[in-house]
């Protein structure tokens, strides 16, 4: 009888096809798409179809044998199956840990037959009430033997998923399954088409697609009224362990059923929430249909039971088709009681600016117990370690940043820093393999301008320069065959950069600018854009020149250009930009405010906007000292004679200067620069280019006097 009834189901699914219907006219949902997914999967893969059919026959036979032996119908003790929830949503934090905990509790309670609403099971069906020993626990170990909470949150750009299994693959916006022989994979996502969930039967799908998919609104506390008590997962997990829909998916024809002898015949899926005895065209018995069964389509509040033989069927499947789940170590934590892990050395990044510095590290409590104390030993170049005793409280698997006691480095050059953790919670570390990290750093000597760099040598970054590439993707690099002068330059390949908003730094050596009246940085830049320069709210590539007076801990921006102001090519470029000889621009940055300010660090910073490549060449840092005549008189006009451009230069910021006027030889005022009440510069530019050659008078107008000098216009 059992074999024949299963044969009807197989014939229906594999030969007759399956019609997906709305379960009730007033509900725009399809409670379950498992049979539709099964049909499509088997139609695509003949080998898989044969494997599924053979496995179905094997389970039929074993289930029949078990049904004939009352003593073997129940497992003796609970078996715990490791579960991983892959939450795949645009905002995966919308599904809280509590919702997952509540869902797992519903699943375990329903399988164990401990659900409080079982009191609603009609008297006629109470003798059939089954209680399974299959239980579920959140995974504590990843397939790579790392600790886990059993909850994986994946941020996706996909607004929803269908039943095509895209949610089960990273390549299509989902999450890859964990080893399905060791874990029950449950994907939680938004499902389209009104589907609330679907599942796989043993051998009905490839290993990387085995598991259950549910709509996140069906979780306990979800937003779908009537279907938010968590029983969609109970239903789909029944499929996972070889249960079919209680009415047999025959569209009301009365010849199909679920192959379980203690579930009554039923014409079609139930909808909503019935009460009392319900009969239909396929069942006119006194007890009626079992709309309380988890494998029907009733709303969550009306589901209450698996039958004895449904439980037997699921446990038979577990002990045979899914036996590997029973020996998985996925629910066993790899954590030991006391284990501190070195995660990273955060400071120094690449260099230090003083012989004495404080390392900053991040550590993780890789132990099962809270971490409350730790000894950290830091040494440079194998010297005597400096110990820091840390106390605090860090939960298991959480991290903390620790600033260590100061340590001293040696002379200028490259050095090695070693950090080692010991005595977590005052005991021997139980995982010494993750206790130690080492890092090379530079203590460079400060240099004085001039500094020039054209990237002609192979070494990149140049000696005593360094790169900060936080995301490990594209960064500043040396390129040959593209240059303003020589044969090489450096480039940031924003055209190919996969992410926006990533900033990469090329940091120059420490500079000591002294004994000068002014200092400047100049460089050649070439850039292009592939979006119209007038586009609002676009994410532009941005080039900055930054300066730091505290060894790179903080920076001040001295130069910042993006979009059309950065581009040196007219129009837009939709291919990877390579500049021609004429597509370079010389830009300048004033470093005068940093004279006699101690060592400073200059950095070129590129922030990505997926526009186009940015090239830099011919970096030049130089300083200027005052003209002796400037020191003597307090102000100069240069050049004199001039062919047009003129600079009025003061040795200090002039006090009470209101303006600068230019008069021709007849006393007529031909140009004027109004200074106002707050002169703040020592350099003022004028241009006599449009005036005739001859003698002119430049007059400084103060609040209480004037001063004049002659200049010759060539």
CB 489 within 8 A of CB 604: no
Residue 63 pLDDT: 85
Q: Indicate the fold that domain 2-327 takes in CATH.
A: Collagenase (Catalytic Domain) (3.40.390)
The better pLDDT of the pair 173, 17 is held by 173
Can 340-443 and 628-713 be said to share one CATH topology? yes
- Give residues with Cβ within 8 angstroms of 425, minimum separation 6: 338, 367, 369, 371, 372, 373, 374
Is residue 286 scored above 80 in pLDDT?
Answer: yes
pLDDT digits (tens, 9 = 90+) for 357-388: 999 999 999 999 999 999 999 999 999 999 99
pLDDT digits (tens, 9 = 90+) for 424-450: 999 999 999 999 999 999 998 888 999
Q: Which residues of 371-399 are buried (b: 16+ CB within 10 A; e: fewer)?
A: beebbbbbbbeeeebbebebeeebebbee
Query: Helices (H) and strands (E) in the chain — how many of each?
Result: 8, 33
DSSP 412-451: SEEEEEEEEEE-GGGS--S-GGGSEEEEEEEEPPPB-S-E
Residue 228 pLDDT: 96
Which of 209, 236, 341, 583 is an active site residue? 236
CB 661 within 8 A of CB 669: yes
Among 202-216, 248-262, 282-296, 488-502, the range scoring the smallest mean pLDDT is 248-262
pLDDT digits (tens, 9 = 90+) for 328-347: 999 999 999 999 999 999 99
Residue 73 pLDDT: 63
Residue 679 pLDDT: 77
**Average pLDDT for residues 649-656, to the nearest whole number?**
87
pLDDT digits (tens, 9 = 90+) for 599-642: 999 999 999 998 999 999 999 999 987 677 787 788 899 889 99
Q: Helices marked H in 543-678 — which ranges?
A: 563-566, 628-633
In angstroms, the CA 212 to CA 209 distance is 9
Domain ranges of the chain: 2-327, 340-443, 451-624, 628-713
Is residue 7 scored above 90 in pLDDT?
Answer: no
CB 362 within 8 A of CB 419: no
**Average pLDDT for residues 678-682, to the nearest whole number?**
78
Active site residue 611: no
Residue 251 pLDDT: 82
pLDDT digits (tens, 9 = 90+) for 209-222: 999 999 999 999 99
* Phi, psi dihedrals of residue 70, rounded to the nearest 5°: -55, -30
Residue 72 pLDDT: 66
Is residue 4 scored above 80 in pLDDT?
Answer: no
**Average pLDDT for residues 25-50, to the nearest whole number?**
84
Q: Which CATH code fits 340-443?
A: 2.60.40.10
Residue 29 pLDDT: 77
Q: What average pLDDT does the structure give for the chain?
A: 91
Q: How confident is the model at residue 9 (pLDDT cuts 50, 70, 90)?
A: very low
Can you tell me whether residue 249 is helix, strand or coil? coil
Could you confirm whether domain 628-713 is CATH 2.60.40.3080? yes
pLDDT digits (tens, 9 = 90+) for 534-571: 898 898 999 999 999 998 989 999 999 999 999 999 99
- Give residues with Cβ within 8 angstroms of 442, minimum separation 6: 350, 351, 352, 413, 414, 415, 464, 466
Q: How much of the chain, in percent, has pLDDT values that exceed 70?
A: 95
Can you tell me whether residue 407 is helix, strand or coil? strand
Could you confirm whether domain 451-624 is CATH 3.20.20.70? no
Distances (CA, A) of 509 to 415, 544, 599, 607, 621: 16, 17, 9, 21, 11
Q: Note the residue count of the chain.
A: 714
Is residue 24 scored above 50 in pLDDT?
Answer: no
């Amino acid at each position: 009888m059992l074999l024949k009834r299963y044969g009807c189901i197989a014939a229906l699914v594999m030969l007759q096809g399956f019609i997906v219907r709305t379960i009730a006219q007033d509900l725009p949902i399809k409670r379950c798409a498992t049979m539709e997914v099964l049909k499509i999967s088997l139609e695509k893969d003949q080998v898989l179809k044969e494997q599924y059919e053979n496995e179905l026959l094997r389970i039929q036979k074993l289930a029949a044998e078990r049904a004939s032996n009352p003593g073997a119908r129940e497992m003796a003790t609970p078996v715990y199956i490791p579960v991983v929830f892959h939450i795949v949503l645009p905002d995966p934090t919308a599904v809280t840990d509590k919702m997952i905990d509540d869902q797992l509790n519903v699943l375990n309670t329903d399988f164990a037959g401990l659900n409080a609403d079982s009191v609603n099971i009609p008297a006629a069906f109470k003798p059939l009430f089954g209680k399974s020993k299959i239980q579920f626990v959140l995974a504590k170990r990843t397939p790579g033997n790392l600790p886990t909470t059993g909850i994986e949150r994946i941020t996706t750009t996909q607004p929803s998923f269908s039943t095509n299994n895209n949610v089960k693959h990273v390549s299509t916006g989902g999450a890859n399954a964990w080893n399905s022989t060791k874990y029950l994979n449950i994907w939680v996502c938004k499902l389209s088409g009104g589907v609330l969930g679907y599942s796989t039967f043993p051998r009905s799908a490839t290993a990387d697609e085995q598991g259950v998919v549910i709509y996140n609104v069906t979780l306990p506390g979800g937003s779908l009224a009537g279907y938010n008590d968590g029983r969609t997962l109970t239903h789909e997990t029944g499929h996972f362990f070889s249960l079919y829909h209680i009415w047999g998916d025959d569209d009301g024809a009365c010849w199909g059923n679920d192959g379980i002898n203690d579930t009554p015949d039923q014409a079609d899926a139930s909808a909503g929430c019935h009460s009392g005895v319900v009969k239909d065209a396929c069942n006119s018995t006194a007890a009626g249909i079992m709309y309380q069964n988890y494998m029907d389509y009733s709303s969550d509040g009306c589901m209450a039971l698996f039958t004895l033989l449904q439980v037997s069927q699921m446990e038979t499947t577990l002990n045979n088709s899914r036996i590997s789940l029973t020996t998985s170590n996925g629910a066993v934590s790899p954590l030991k009681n006391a284990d501190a892990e070195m995660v990273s050395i955060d400071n120094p990044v690449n260099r230090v600016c003083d012989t004495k510095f404080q390392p900053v590290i991040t550590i993780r409590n890789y132990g099962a117990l809270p971490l409350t104390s730790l000894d950290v030993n830091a040494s440079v170049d194998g010297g005597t370690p400096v110990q820091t005793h840390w106390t605090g409280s860090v939960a298991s698997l959480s991290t903390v940043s620790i600033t260590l006691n100061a340590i001293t480095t040696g002379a200028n050059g490259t050095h090695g820093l070693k950090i080692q953790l010991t005595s977590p919670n005052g005991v021997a570390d139980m995982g010494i393999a993750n206790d130690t990290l080492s890092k090379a750093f530079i203590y460079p000597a400060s240099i004085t301008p001039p500094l020039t760099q054209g990237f002609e040598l192979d070494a990149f970054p140049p000696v005593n320069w360094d790169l900060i590439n936080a995301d490990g993707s594209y960064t500043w690099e040396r390129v040959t065959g593209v240059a303003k002068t020589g044969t090489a330059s450096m480039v940031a390949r924003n055209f190919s950069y996969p992410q926006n908003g990533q900033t990469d730094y090329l940091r120059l050596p420490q500079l000591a600018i002294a004994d000068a009246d002014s200092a400047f940085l100049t460089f050649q830049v070439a850039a292009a854009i592939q979006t119209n320069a007038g586009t609002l709210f676009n994410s532009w590539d941005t080039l900055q020149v930054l300066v730091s007076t505290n060894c790179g801990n903080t920076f001040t921006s001295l130069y910042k250009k993006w979009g059309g102001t950065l581009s040196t090519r007219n129009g837009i470029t939709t291919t990877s930009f390579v500049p021609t000889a004429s597509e370079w621009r010389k830009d300048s940055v004033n470093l005068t405010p940093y004279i006699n300010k101690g060592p400073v660090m200059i950095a070129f910073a590129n922030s990505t906007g997926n526009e186009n490549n940015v090239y830099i060449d011919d970096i030049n840092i130089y300083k200027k000292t005052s003209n002796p005549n400037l020191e003597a008189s307090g102000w100069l006009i240069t050049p004199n004679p001039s062919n047009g451009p003129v600079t009025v230069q003061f040795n200090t910021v002039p006090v009470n200067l209101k303006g600068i006027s230019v008069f021709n030889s007849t006393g007529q005022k031909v140009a004027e620069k109004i200074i106002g009440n707050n002169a703040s510069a020592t350099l003022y530019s004028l241009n006599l280019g449009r005036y005739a050659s001859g003698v002119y008078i430049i007059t400084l107008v103060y609040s209480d006097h004037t001063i004049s000098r002659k200049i010759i216009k060539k």
